[in-house]
A and B are shown apart, each in its own frame.
Chain A
Amino acid sequence: MLRGMVHAGNWLVLGIFLSLLMVIFIGMSRAFLRMLQTPPLEEAQAAPAGERFHLSHAVSLYVLAVSIPIAVFQPEFLFGPLRTILEQFGYFL
Protein backbone atom coordinates (compact mmCIF):
# COMPACT_ATOMS: atom_id res chain seq x y z
CA MET A 1 0.00 0.00 0.00
CA LEU A 2 2.84 2.33 0.91
CA ARG A 3 4.60 1.40 -2.31
CA GLY A 4 1.46 2.26 -4.27
CA MET A 5 1.29 5.68 -2.63
CA VAL A 6 5.00 6.33 -3.28
CA HIS A 7 4.68 5.20 -6.93
CA ALA A 8 1.65 7.44 -7.44
CA GLY A 9 3.48 10.33 -5.75
CA ASN A 10 0.64 10.83 -3.25
CA TRP A 11 2.88 12.30 -0.55
CA LEU A 12 0.08 14.13 1.24
CA VAL A 13 -2.03 10.98 1.40
CA LEU A 14 1.02 9.01 2.54
CA GLY A 15 1.70 11.53 5.34
CA ILE A 16 -1.92 11.54 6.54
CA PHE A 17 -2.09 7.74 6.31
CA LEU A 18 1.05 7.13 8.37
CA SER A 19 0.26 9.80 10.97
CA LEU A 20 -3.27 8.51 11.58
CA LEU A 21 -2.11 4.89 11.69
CA MET A 22 0.45 5.82 14.34
CA VAL A 23 -2.25 7.49 16.46
CA ILE A 24 -4.56 4.49 16.03
CA PHE A 25 -1.81 1.98 16.76
CA ILE A 26 -0.92 3.71 20.03
CA GLY A 27 -4.62 4.06 20.96
CA MET A 28 -5.34 0.37 20.33
CA SER A 29 -2.17 -0.81 22.10
CA ARG A 30 -2.99 1.37 25.11
CA ALA A 31 -6.41 -0.28 25.53
CA PHE A 32 -5.29 -3.83 24.78
CA LEU A 33 -2.14 -3.76 26.91
CA ARG A 34 -4.19 -2.42 29.82
CA MET A 35 -6.61 -5.33 29.52
CA LEU A 36 -3.92 -7.95 28.96
CA GLN A 37 -1.05 -7.08 31.25
CA THR A 38 -2.31 -5.10 34.27
CA PRO A 39 -2.83 -6.99 37.56
CA PRO A 40 -6.39 -8.30 38.14
CA LEU A 41 -8.88 -6.20 40.14
CA GLU A 42 -9.24 -7.14 43.79
CA GLU A 43 -12.55 -8.99 43.41
CA ALA A 44 -11.10 -10.96 40.49
CA GLN A 45 -8.02 -12.05 42.48
CA ALA A 46 -9.97 -14.94 43.95
CA ALA A 47 -11.07 -16.18 40.52
CA PRO A 48 -9.06 -19.16 39.29
CA ALA A 49 -6.27 -18.34 36.87
CA GLY A 50 -5.98 -20.24 33.60
CA GLU A 51 -8.51 -21.29 31.00
CA ARG A 52 -9.33 -24.52 29.20
CA PHE A 53 -8.59 -24.67 25.47
CA HIS A 54 -11.91 -24.38 23.65
CA LEU A 55 -13.07 -24.97 20.07
CA SER A 56 -13.46 -21.21 19.56
CA HIS A 57 -9.75 -20.83 20.46
CA ALA A 58 -8.84 -23.43 17.82
CA VAL A 59 -10.98 -21.63 15.22
CA SER A 60 -9.44 -18.26 16.09
CA LEU A 61 -5.95 -19.77 16.01
CA TYR A 62 -6.67 -21.28 12.59
CA VAL A 63 -8.04 -18.08 11.01
CA LEU A 64 -5.01 -16.19 12.23
CA ALA A 65 -2.45 -18.84 11.32
CA VAL A 66 -3.84 -19.32 7.81
CA SER A 67 -2.93 -15.74 6.89
CA ILE A 68 0.81 -16.45 7.32
CA PRO A 69 1.20 -19.14 4.59
CA ILE A 70 -1.03 -17.05 2.29
CA ALA A 71 1.28 -14.06 2.69
CA VAL A 72 4.51 -16.09 2.51
CA PHE A 73 3.74 -18.59 -0.27
CA GLN A 74 1.29 -16.47 -2.31
CA PRO A 75 -0.64 -19.50 -3.62
CA GLU A 76 -1.57 -19.32 -7.29
CA PHE A 77 -5.21 -20.26 -6.65
CA LEU A 78 -5.59 -17.00 -4.71
CA PHE A 79 -3.16 -14.73 -6.52
CA GLY A 80 -4.44 -15.81 -9.97
CA PRO A 81 -7.86 -14.16 -9.45
CA LEU A 82 -6.16 -11.24 -7.68
CA ARG A 83 -3.95 -10.70 -10.73
CA THR A 84 -7.01 -10.71 -13.00
CA ILE A 85 -8.78 -8.19 -10.73
CA LEU A 86 -5.74 -5.90 -10.82
CA GLU A 87 -5.60 -6.14 -14.63
CA GLN A 88 -9.24 -4.99 -14.76
CA PHE A 89 -8.09 -1.93 -12.82
CA GLY A 90 -5.18 -1.28 -15.16
CA TYR A 91 -2.32 -2.74 -13.09
CA PHE A 92 -0.19 -5.65 -14.30
CA LEU A 93 1.80 -7.57 -11.70
Chain B
Amino acid sequence: MFSILLILTVLPLLALGFTAWNRSLKASHLITLTAAAGHLAATFYALIGRPAPLPGDPWFALDPLGVFFLLIVSHTFMAVVLCSPGFLARMGDPRYQASRRLYYPALNLYLLANTLVIVTQHFGLLWVVLELTTFGLAPLIYFYRSKESLEAAWKYLFLVSLGLVFLLIGILFLGLAAKSAPGHPNLLVSELLRHAAQLNPLWIKASFVFALVGVSAKIGLAPMHPADIDATSNAPAPVAALMSGSLRSTAMLVLLRFYQIVYQTEVRPFAQHLLMAVGAFSLLVAAVYIWRSRNYKRLLAYSSVEHLGVITLAVGVGGVALLGGLLHTLFNSLGKVALFTMAGRVHHTYQSRQIESVRGLMRRMPWSGFLSGWPSSTLSARRRSGCSLANC
Protein backbone atom coordinates (compact mmCIF):
# COMPACT_ATOMS: atom_id res chain seq x y z
CA MET B 1 0.00 0.00 0.00
CA PHE B 2 2.81 2.38 0.98
CA SER B 3 4.61 1.91 -2.34
CA ILE B 4 1.41 2.62 -4.29
CA LEU B 5 0.82 5.82 -2.33
CA LEU B 6 4.43 6.77 -2.93
CA ILE B 7 4.13 6.22 -6.69
CA LEU B 8 0.87 8.16 -6.84
CA THR B 9 2.32 11.22 -5.12
CA VAL B 10 5.97 11.15 -6.16
CA LEU B 11 5.30 10.80 -9.91
CA PRO B 12 3.40 14.12 -10.24
CA LEU B 13 5.87 15.76 -7.84
CA LEU B 14 8.85 14.73 -9.97
CA ALA B 15 7.02 15.76 -13.14
CA LEU B 16 6.20 19.12 -11.52
CA GLY B 17 9.86 19.70 -10.66
CA PHE B 18 11.07 18.71 -14.11
CA THR B 19 8.49 20.73 -16.06
CA ALA B 20 9.09 23.81 -13.88
CA TRP B 21 12.83 23.59 -14.56
CA ASN B 22 12.70 22.50 -18.21
CA ARG B 23 11.88 24.99 -21.00
CA SER B 24 11.10 22.56 -23.81
CA LEU B 25 7.37 22.01 -24.32
CA LYS B 26 7.98 18.68 -26.03
CA ALA B 27 10.07 17.32 -23.14
CA SER B 28 7.54 18.65 -20.63
CA HIS B 29 4.76 16.90 -22.50
CA LEU B 30 6.66 13.59 -22.55
CA ILE B 31 7.42 13.79 -18.83
CA THR B 32 3.83 14.72 -17.94
CA LEU B 33 2.54 11.93 -20.17
CA THR B 34 4.85 9.43 -18.46
CA ALA B 35 3.70 10.63 -15.03
CA ALA B 36 0.05 10.39 -16.12
CA ALA B 37 0.57 6.85 -17.49
CA GLY B 38 2.36 5.76 -14.29
CA HIS B 39 -0.37 7.33 -12.18
CA LEU B 40 -3.08 5.55 -14.18
CA ALA B 41 -1.23 2.21 -13.95
CA ALA B 42 -0.84 2.61 -10.16
CA THR B 43 -4.53 3.47 -9.90
CA PHE B 44 -5.52 0.32 -11.81
CA TYR B 45 -3.18 -1.72 -9.61
CA ALA B 46 -4.86 -0.27 -6.51
CA LEU B 47 -8.27 -0.99 -8.02
CA ILE B 48 -7.56 -4.55 -9.19
CA GLY B 49 -4.90 -5.67 -6.70
CA ARG B 50 -6.60 -4.05 -3.67
CA PRO B 51 -3.35 -3.72 -1.67
CA ALA B 52 -3.67 -4.36 2.09
CA PRO B 53 -4.31 -1.21 4.12
CA LEU B 54 -1.53 0.23 6.25
CA PRO B 55 -1.63 -0.87 9.89
CA GLY B 56 -2.90 1.54 12.54
CA ASP B 57 -4.59 4.85 11.66
CA PRO B 58 -2.49 6.27 8.86
CA TRP B 59 -2.90 9.86 7.69
CA PHE B 60 -2.62 8.68 4.09
CA ALA B 61 -4.54 5.64 2.81
CA LEU B 62 -6.52 4.44 -0.17
CA ASP B 63 -9.98 3.32 0.92
CA PRO B 64 -12.61 2.10 -1.63
CA LEU B 65 -14.08 5.61 -1.87
CA GLY B 66 -10.63 7.02 -2.57
CA VAL B 67 -9.76 4.39 -5.19
CA PHE B 68 -12.98 5.06 -7.09
CA PHE B 69 -12.38 8.82 -7.22
CA LEU B 70 -8.71 8.28 -8.03
CA LEU B 71 -9.80 6.37 -11.13
CA ILE B 72 -11.84 9.40 -12.23
CA VAL B 73 -9.00 11.88 -11.63
CA SER B 74 -6.33 9.70 -13.22
CA HIS B 75 -8.41 8.87 -16.30
CA THR B 76 -9.47 12.47 -16.87
CA PHE B 77 -5.92 13.71 -16.43
CA MET B 78 -4.53 11.19 -18.93
CA ALA B 79 -7.14 12.21 -21.53
CA VAL B 80 -6.36 15.90 -21.03
CA VAL B 81 -2.60 15.37 -21.29
CA LEU B 82 -3.07 13.44 -24.55
CA CYS B 83 -5.08 16.35 -25.99
CA SER B 84 -2.68 19.04 -24.72
CA PRO B 85 -0.08 19.13 -27.58
CA GLY B 86 -2.86 19.77 -30.11
CA PHE B 87 -4.25 22.55 -27.96
CA LEU B 88 -0.84 24.17 -27.36
CA ALA B 89 -0.04 23.95 -31.07
CA ARG B 90 -3.19 26.02 -31.75
CA MET B 91 -2.02 28.55 -29.14
CA GLY B 92 1.14 29.44 -31.04
CA ASP B 93 0.62 33.21 -30.73
CA PRO B 94 3.54 34.94 -28.85
CA ARG B 95 1.09 36.51 -26.35
CA TYR B 96 0.45 33.01 -24.95
CA GLN B 97 4.14 32.22 -24.47
CA ALA B 98 4.15 32.74 -20.70
CA SER B 99 0.96 30.70 -20.35
CA ARG B 100 2.41 27.86 -22.42
CA ARG B 101 5.46 27.84 -20.15
CA LEU B 102 3.23 27.52 -17.06
CA TYR B 103 0.87 24.97 -18.58
CA TYR B 104 2.59 21.66 -17.76
CA PRO B 105 3.91 22.61 -14.28
CA ALA B 106 0.38 23.76 -13.34
CA LEU B 107 -1.11 20.52 -14.73
CA ASN B 108 1.30 18.43 -12.63
CA LEU B 109 0.59 20.52 -9.53
CA TYR B 110 -3.11 19.93 -10.19
CA LEU B 111 -2.61 16.14 -10.33
CA LEU B 112 -0.48 16.16 -7.18
CA ALA B 113 -3.00 18.27 -5.23
CA ASN B 114 -5.97 16.16 -6.33
CA THR B 115 -4.17 12.91 -5.48
CA LEU B 116 -3.34 14.27 -2.03
CA VAL B 117 -6.99 15.23 -1.45
CA ILE B 118 -8.00 11.66 -2.30
CA VAL B 119 -5.42 9.83 -0.17
CA THR B 120 -5.50 12.14 2.86
CA GLN B 121 -7.43 10.69 5.78
CA HIS B 122 -7.08 13.64 8.16
CA PHE B 123 -9.61 16.45 7.88
CA GLY B 124 -7.13 19.19 8.83
CA LEU B 125 -4.65 18.14 6.17
CA LEU B 126 -7.50 17.62 3.72
CA TRP B 127 -8.34 21.32 4.00
CA VAL B 128 -4.75 22.32 3.21
CA VAL B 129 -4.46 20.14 0.11
CA LEU B 130 -7.90 21.18 -1.12
CA GLU B 131 -6.71 24.79 -1.04
CA LEU B 132 -3.68 23.66 -3.05
CA THR B 133 -5.95 22.46 -5.88
CA THR B 134 -7.34 26.02 -6.13
CA PHE B 135 -3.87 27.56 -6.43
CA GLY B 136 -2.80 24.95 -8.95
CA LEU B 137 -5.73 25.81 -11.17
CA ALA B 138 -5.66 29.64 -11.10
CA PRO B 139 -2.74 30.08 -13.59
CA LEU B 140 -4.49 27.70 -15.98
CA ILE B 141 -7.76 29.69 -15.84
CA TYR B 142 -5.74 32.84 -16.70
CA PHE B 143 -4.21 31.12 -19.76
CA TYR B 144 -5.65 33.54 -22.37
CA ARG B 145 -4.35 36.60 -20.43
CA SER B 146 -7.52 38.51 -21.29
CA LYS B 147 -9.53 40.81 -19.04
CA GLU B 148 -12.31 38.19 -18.79
CA SER B 149 -9.94 35.36 -17.87
CA LEU B 150 -8.20 37.55 -15.26
CA GLU B 151 -11.56 38.41 -13.72
CA ALA B 152 -12.62 34.73 -13.82
CA ALA B 153 -9.35 33.59 -12.18
CA TRP B 154 -9.61 36.15 -9.36
CA LYS B 155 -13.30 35.50 -8.85
CA TYR B 156 -12.58 31.79 -8.64
CA LEU B 157 -9.71 32.28 -6.19
CA PHE B 158 -11.75 34.62 -4.01
CA LEU B 159 -15.05 32.73 -3.90
CA VAL B 160 -13.55 29.26 -3.60
CA SER B 161 -11.19 30.45 -0.86
CA LEU B 162 -14.17 32.04 0.89
CA GLY B 163 -15.94 28.70 0.61
CA LEU B 164 -12.90 26.99 2.08
CA VAL B 165 -13.13 29.32 5.09
CA PHE B 166 -16.60 27.86 5.68
CA LEU B 167 -15.12 24.39 5.28
CA LEU B 168 -12.46 25.21 7.86
CA ILE B 169 -15.19 26.29 10.30
CA GLY B 170 -16.95 22.99 9.54
CA ILE B 171 -13.76 21.09 10.37
CA LEU B 172 -13.38 23.07 13.61
CA PHE B 173 -16.96 22.13 14.55
CA LEU B 174 -16.13 18.52 13.74
CA GLY B 175 -13.21 18.82 16.16
CA LEU B 176 -15.57 20.19 18.82
CA ALA B 177 -17.98 17.32 18.20
CA ALA B 178 -15.10 14.88 18.64
CA LYS B 179 -13.88 16.63 21.79
CA SER B 180 -17.15 15.93 23.55
CA ALA B 181 -16.93 12.19 22.74
CA PRO B 182 -15.28 9.79 25.22
CA GLY B 183 -11.68 9.06 24.24
CA HIS B 184 -11.42 12.42 22.40
CA PRO B 185 -10.90 11.04 18.87
CA ASN B 186 -8.70 13.09 16.55
CA LEU B 187 -9.69 14.28 13.07
CA LEU B 188 -8.79 11.05 11.24
CA VAL B 189 -11.67 9.60 9.22
CA SER B 190 -11.24 6.11 10.76
CA GLU B 191 -11.15 7.53 14.33
CA LEU B 192 -14.27 9.61 13.76
CA LEU B 193 -16.09 6.67 12.18
CA ARG B 194 -15.25 4.49 15.20
CA HIS B 195 -16.65 7.08 17.63
CA ALA B 196 -19.44 8.38 15.37
CA ALA B 197 -22.24 7.32 17.71
CA GLN B 198 -20.74 9.35 20.59
CA LEU B 199 -20.13 12.58 18.67
CA ASN B 200 -22.09 15.65 19.78
CA PRO B 201 -25.08 15.85 17.35
CA LEU B 202 -25.39 19.64 17.50
CA TRP B 203 -21.76 20.24 16.54
CA ILE B 204 -21.99 17.51 13.88
CA LYS B 205 -25.04 19.20 12.37
CA ALA B 206 -23.31 22.59 12.31
CA SER B 207 -20.16 20.99 10.91
CA PHE B 208 -22.05 19.37 8.02
CA VAL B 209 -23.88 22.60 7.12
CA PHE B 210 -20.62 24.59 7.01
CA ALA B 211 -18.81 21.85 5.11
CA LEU B 212 -21.60 21.67 2.52
CA VAL B 213 -21.59 25.45 2.00
CA GLY B 214 -17.80 25.41 1.85
CA VAL B 215 -17.30 22.70 -0.75
CA SER B 216 -20.35 23.84 -2.77
CA ALA B 217 -18.22 26.58 -4.35
CA LYS B 218 -15.73 23.97 -5.51
CA ILE B 219 -18.32 21.40 -6.56
CA GLY B 220 -20.31 24.10 -8.35
CA LEU B 221 -23.56 23.60 -6.48
CA ALA B 222 -26.12 26.43 -6.42
CA PRO B 223 -26.10 29.05 -4.98
CA MET B 224 -22.26 28.98 -4.74
CA HIS B 225 -21.80 28.20 -8.46
CA PRO B 226 -21.05 31.59 -10.18
CA ALA B 227 -17.25 31.48 -9.74
CA ASP B 228 -17.12 27.97 -11.14
CA ILE B 229 -19.24 28.92 -14.16
CA ASP B 230 -17.06 31.93 -15.04
CA ALA B 231 -13.86 29.97 -14.53
CA THR B 232 -15.01 26.99 -16.61
CA SER B 233 -16.30 29.12 -19.47
CA ASN B 234 -13.19 31.36 -19.64
CA ALA B 235 -10.56 28.66 -19.13
CA PRO B 236 -9.03 26.84 -22.13
CA ALA B 237 -10.84 23.67 -23.18
CA PRO B 238 -8.46 21.11 -21.56
CA VAL B 239 -8.56 23.04 -18.26
CA ALA B 240 -12.36 23.29 -18.40
CA ALA B 241 -12.42 19.52 -19.01
CA LEU B 242 -10.26 18.98 -15.92
CA MET B 243 -12.44 21.28 -13.82
CA SER B 244 -15.69 19.68 -14.87
CA GLY B 245 -14.34 16.17 -15.18
CA SER B 246 -12.26 15.73 -12.06
CA LEU B 247 -11.98 18.75 -9.76
CA ARG B 248 -15.69 18.82 -9.01
CA SER B 249 -15.57 15.06 -8.37
CA THR B 250 -12.67 15.50 -5.94
CA ALA B 251 -14.65 18.17 -4.08
CA MET B 252 -17.62 15.78 -4.05
CA LEU B 253 -15.34 13.21 -2.38
CA VAL B 254 -14.63 15.72 0.41
CA LEU B 255 -18.37 16.13 0.94
CA LEU B 256 -18.77 12.33 0.98
CA ARG B 257 -16.04 12.06 3.64
CA PHE B 258 -18.12 14.33 5.90
CA TYR B 259 -21.31 12.49 4.99
CA GLN B 260 -19.64 9.15 5.81
CA ILE B 261 -19.36 10.30 9.44
CA VAL B 262 -22.70 12.11 9.61
CA TYR B 263 -24.38 8.98 8.21
CA GLN B 264 -23.43 7.03 11.36
CA THR B 265 -25.03 9.62 13.67
CA GLU B 266 -28.59 10.66 14.52
CA VAL B 267 -28.11 13.73 12.27
CA ARG B 268 -28.41 11.52 9.17
CA PRO B 269 -32.05 12.43 8.22
CA PHE B 270 -31.22 16.14 8.46
CA ALA B 271 -28.15 15.70 6.23
CA GLN B 272 -30.13 13.66 3.70
CA HIS B 273 -32.83 16.32 3.43
CA LEU B 274 -30.23 19.05 3.11
CA LEU B 275 -28.42 17.21 0.31
CA MET B 276 -31.68 16.58 -1.55
CA ALA B 277 -32.67 20.26 -1.21
CA VAL B 278 -29.29 21.54 -2.46
CA GLY B 279 -29.28 19.02 -5.32
CA ALA B 280 -32.81 19.95 -6.41
CA PHE B 281 -32.00 23.68 -6.17
CA SER B 282 -28.91 23.19 -8.37
CA LEU B 283 -31.08 21.39 -10.91
CA LEU B 284 -33.56 24.29 -10.86
CA VAL B 285 -30.81 26.91 -11.35
CA ALA B 286 -29.28 24.85 -14.18
CA ALA B 287 -32.70 24.43 -15.83
CA VAL B 288 -33.22 28.22 -15.86
CA TYR B 289 -29.73 29.17 -17.06
CA ILE B 290 -29.43 26.43 -19.68
CA TRP B 291 -32.39 28.04 -21.46
CA ARG B 292 -30.92 31.54 -21.12
CA SER B 293 -27.33 30.77 -22.05
CA ARG B 294 -26.06 32.06 -25.42
CA ASN B 295 -22.50 30.80 -24.96
CA TYR B 296 -21.92 27.06 -25.50
CA LYS B 297 -19.08 26.83 -22.98
CA ARG B 298 -21.29 28.44 -20.33
CA LEU B 299 -24.00 26.00 -21.37
CA LEU B 300 -21.64 23.10 -20.67
CA ALA B 301 -20.63 24.71 -17.36
CA TYR B 302 -24.31 24.89 -16.34
CA SER B 303 -24.67 21.29 -17.47
CA SER B 304 -21.98 20.46 -14.88
CA VAL B 305 -23.99 22.29 -12.19
CA GLU B 306 -26.95 20.14 -13.19
CA HIS B 307 -24.99 16.87 -13.13
CA LEU B 308 -23.42 17.59 -9.75
CA GLY B 309 -26.89 18.54 -8.54
CA VAL B 310 -28.17 15.15 -9.72
CA ILE B 311 -25.29 13.39 -7.93
CA THR B 312 -25.90 15.35 -4.69
CA LEU B 313 -29.59 14.51 -4.90
CA ALA B 314 -28.75 10.81 -5.37
CA VAL B 315 -26.40 10.84 -2.38
CA GLY B 316 -29.19 12.38 -0.30
CA VAL B 317 -31.74 9.76 -1.43
CA GLY B 318 -29.24 6.98 -0.61
CA GLY B 319 -29.60 3.24 -1.19
CA VAL B 320 -29.46 2.15 -4.81
CA ALA B 321 -29.65 5.84 -5.85
CA LEU B 322 -26.19 6.29 -4.32
CA LEU B 323 -24.84 3.63 -6.70
CA GLY B 324 -26.45 5.58 -9.55
CA GLY B 325 -24.89 8.77 -8.22
CA LEU B 326 -21.40 7.26 -8.03
CA LEU B 327 -21.63 5.78 -11.52
CA HIS B 328 -22.96 9.08 -12.76
CA THR B 329 -19.89 10.81 -11.31
CA LEU B 330 -17.68 8.54 -13.41
CA PHE B 331 -19.73 8.81 -16.62
CA ASN B 332 -20.18 12.58 -16.26
CA SER B 333 -16.41 12.99 -15.95
CA LEU B 334 -15.77 10.96 -19.08
CA GLY B 335 -18.50 12.77 -21.01
CA LYS B 336 -17.31 16.21 -19.93
CA VAL B 337 -13.76 15.54 -21.14
CA ALA B 338 -15.13 14.77 -24.60
CA LEU B 339 -17.54 17.72 -24.63
CA PHE B 340 -15.05 20.36 -23.50
CA THR B 341 -12.30 19.04 -25.78
CA MET B 342 -14.66 19.26 -28.74
CA ALA B 343 -15.85 22.71 -27.59
CA GLY B 344 -12.22 23.84 -27.78
CA ARG B 345 -11.91 22.64 -31.37
CA VAL B 346 -15.19 24.29 -32.32
CA HIS B 347 -14.05 27.56 -30.69
CA HIS B 348 -10.78 27.45 -32.65
CA THR B 349 -12.56 26.89 -35.96
CA TYR B 350 -15.47 29.33 -35.54
CA GLN B 351 -13.55 31.86 -33.39
CA SER B 352 -16.66 32.34 -31.30
CA ARG B 353 -18.25 30.89 -28.20
CA GLN B 354 -21.71 32.07 -29.18
CA ILE B 355 -24.27 29.40 -30.06
CA GLU B 356 -25.69 31.73 -32.74
CA SER B 357 -22.33 31.84 -34.56
CA VAL B 358 -21.92 28.07 -34.78
CA ARG B 359 -23.91 26.64 -37.65
CA GLY B 360 -23.66 23.48 -39.75
CA LEU B 361 -21.24 21.79 -37.35
CA MET B 362 -21.99 18.31 -38.71
CA ARG B 363 -21.07 19.46 -42.22
CA ARG B 364 -18.02 21.54 -41.37
CA MET B 365 -16.61 19.47 -38.48
CA PRO B 366 -18.24 16.01 -38.69
CA TRP B 367 -16.00 14.31 -36.10
CA SER B 368 -16.26 17.12 -33.56
CA GLY B 369 -19.98 17.46 -34.28
CA PHE B 370 -20.59 13.75 -33.78
CA LEU B 371 -18.56 13.66 -30.57
CA SER B 372 -20.34 16.76 -29.24
CA GLY B 373 -23.74 15.31 -29.97
CA TRP B 374 -23.08 11.84 -28.59
CA PRO B 375 -22.03 12.63 -25.01
CA SER B 376 -24.74 15.23 -24.52
CA SER B 377 -27.43 12.82 -25.68
CA THR B 378 -26.05 9.74 -23.89
CA LEU B 379 -25.58 11.65 -20.63
CA SER B 380 -29.19 12.76 -20.79
CA ALA B 381 -30.33 9.25 -21.64
CA ARG B 382 -28.33 7.79 -18.75
CA ARG B 383 -29.89 10.27 -16.40
CA ARG B 384 -33.37 9.35 -17.48
CA SER B 385 -32.71 5.62 -17.32
CA GLY B 386 -31.26 5.85 -13.83
CA CYS B 387 -27.71 6.82 -14.79
CA SER B 388 -26.45 3.60 -16.32
CA LEU B 389 -27.46 0.26 -17.66
CA ALA B 390 -26.10 -1.21 -14.45
CA ASN B 391 -29.06 0.17 -12.57
CA CYS B 392 -31.75 -1.09 -14.90
How many angstroms from the CA of A80 to the CA of B64 in the assembled complex?
A: 9
List of B residues within 8 angstroms of A66 by Cβ: 334
In the complex, which of the residues B83, B296, B323 contacts A82, with contact meaning CB atoms closer than 8 Å? Answer: B323
Judged by DSSP, the binding face of B is: helix
In the complex, which of the residues A4, A36, A49, A71 contacts B390, with contact meaning CB atoms closer than 8 Å? Answer: A71
Minimum Cβ distance to chain A for residue B249 (Å): 14
Q: What mask results when residues 12 to 26 of chain A are scored 1 for a CB within 8 Å of chain B, else 0?
A: 010011001101110
B287 touches A23 (CB 8 A): yes
List of B residues within 8 angstroms of A89 by Cβ: 260, 263, 318, 322
List of A residues within 8 angstroms of B345 by Cβ: 54, 56
B355 touches A34 (CB 8 A): yes
Minimum Cβ distance to chain A for residue B28 (Å): 17
A23, A41, A63: most-surrounded residue (chain B CB, <10 A): A63
A35 touches B355 (CB 8 A): yes
B345, B355, B375, B390: most-surrounded residue (chain A CB, <10 A): B390
Q: How many B residues face the partner with a CB closer than 8 A?
A: 89
Known: A64-B335, A91-B322. A16 touches B283 (CB 8 A): yes
List of B residues within 8 angstroms of A32 by Cβ: 372-373, 376-377
How many angstroms from the CA of A70 to the CA of B47 in the assembled complex?
A: 14
Indicate if B150 sits at the interface (CB-CB under 8 A): no
List of A residues within 8 angstroms of B358 by Cβ: 35
Minimum Cβ distance to chain B for residue A39 (Å): 6
Judged by DSSP, the binding face of A is: helix
Indicate if B313 sits at the interface (CB-CB under 8 A): yes
In the complex, which of the residues B280, B284, B359, B388 contacts A39, with contact meaning CB atoms closer than 8 Å? Answer: B359
In the complex, which of the residues B317, B328, B346, B363 contacts A49, with contact meaning CB atoms closer than 8 Å? Answer: B363
A60 touches B337 (CB 8 A): yes
Cross-chain pair count, CB within 8 angstroms:
240
Known: A1-B321, A67-B331, A71-B389. A25 touches B380 (CB 8 A): yes
Q: What mask results when residues 306 to 337 of chain B are scored 1 for a CB within 8 Å of chain A, else 0?
A: 10001001100111111111111011001101
B367 touches A54 (CB 8 A): yes
Indicate if B286 sits at the interface (CB-CB under 8 A): yes
Q: Which residue of B lies closest to A45 (CB)?
A: B360
Indicate if B194 sits at the interface (CB-CB under 8 A): no
Known: A1-B314, A90-B318. A60 touches B283 (CB 8 A): no
B363 touches A40 (CB 8 A): yes
In the complex, which of the residues B326, B334, B386 contacts A64, with contact meaning CB atoms closer than 8 Å? Answer: B334
List of B residues within 8 angstroms of A41 by Cβ: 357, 359-360
Minimum Cβ distance to chain B for residue A55 (Å): 6
Minimum Cβ distance to chain A for residue B309 (Å): 9
Indicate if B276 sits at the interface (CB-CB under 8 A): yes
A44 touches B359 (CB 8 A): yes
Known: A21-B384, A24-B290, A86-B323. A36 touches B283 (CB 8 A): no
**Contact residues of A between 36 and 61, Cβ < 8 Å to B:** 36-41, 44, 47, 49-51, 53-57, 59-61
How many angstroms from the CA of A80 to the CA of B47 in the assembled complex?
A: 9
Return 19 A-B CB contacts under 8 Å, by A number. A1-B320, A3-B321, A4-B324, A8-B319, A35-B296, A36-B372, A39-B359, A40-B364, A44-B360, A47-B364, A60-B338, A63-B338, A67-B331, A74-B390, A77-B48, A78-B68, A79-B390, A81-B68, A85-B65
Q: Nearest 10 CB-CB pairs, A to B? A: A4-B321, A40-B360, A1-B324, A60-B338, A81-B64, A71-B389, A27-B290, A84-B64, A63-B334, A71-B388
A-side interface residues toward B, CB under 8 Å? 1-5, 7-8, 10, 13, 16-17, 20-21, 23-25, 27-29, 31-32, 34-41, 44, 47, 49-51, 53-57, 59-64, 66-67, 70-72, 74, 77-82, 84-86, 88-91, 93
Known contacts A17-B313, A51-B367; 15 further A-B pairs (Cβ under 8 A):
A7-B320, A8-B321, A20-B280, A20-B287, A35-B358, A37-B362, A39-B360, A40-B363, A56-B342, A67-B378, A71-B390, A81-B67, A81-B68, A91-B319, A91-B323
